[in-house]
Structure formats: structure tokens, C-alpha cells
Amino acid sequence: MKLAIATCLSALALAGAAFADTSLTATLANPGGNAKFIAAGAVWNCAGATCVAQVAPDDAQGISGCQELAHKIGRVTAFAGEAKSLDARGLERCNKEAATPKTIGTASR
């Protein structure tokens, strides 16, 4: 019985790691001031051309996460998570949703 419980707990721990949050970093085409806002289920902190989300859902790593960010803040020139980064084609798709360039400090929530 104890072995069965230990096995179940181990399986749950491994499953939780597979769905763990990740950190994301993005580089903006139009650097600006400082901003903090939510996009793609993550809290983004931007300073100049660099935006970082310390904790983001795994599904925010892809093109849809980049699109949500670009929609809020403008064109993105690099977008990477712990497991993968977007290539040139992915960034092109991401930026189809880009907002009109603006000063970061004016980003809305």
C-alpha cells in the first residue's frame, strides 16, 4: 500500500513538472521606457527594448503568446522561453498582431 501511494505521488510530481511555468524574454523593435502589464497569461516587465516575464504558462512560449505581447506593446524582434525561441518565420507571424509603435510607458493593462 505504501509503495502504491509513493508511486502515485511520484507520478503526480513528474506530471506537475511537465506543466510547470516558464520564463520568457522578448526584445522590442521600438525600445521605450519602463512598463509592467499582463499579456499571454504572464506579467511582463519591460525596460528599454527588453521585456521579461519571470513566470509564464508553458503555452505562452509559442506564436500565440508572442502575438498577445506584440498586440499590447508593438513589434517583437526576438522571443524566447526556456525550451524554445521563435525563428524568423515565427516572428513574422507574431508581428502580424503588432500594435502601432508607441512608448512603452503608455502600455495599457
Give the separation between CA 105 and CA 55, rounded to whole angstroms: 21
Cell numbers given for 30: 521600438
User: Whole-prediction pTM value?
Assistant: 0.72
Give the separation between CA 77 and CA 28, rounded to whole angstroms: 6
**Mapping DSSP to helix (H, G, I), strand (E, B) and coil, where does residue 8 land?**
helix
The candidate with the shortest Cα–Cα distance to 20, out of 86, 80, 81, is 81
Give the separation between CA 12 and CA 25, rounded to whole angstroms: 29
The ranges assigned to domains in the chain are 20-106
pLDDT of residue 102: 52
Cross-strand partners of 78: 27
- Give the tens place of pLDDT for each residue, 9-66: 444 444 333 445 789 999 999 987 899 999 999 999 999 999 999 999 988 989 999 9
pLDDT of residue 21: 79
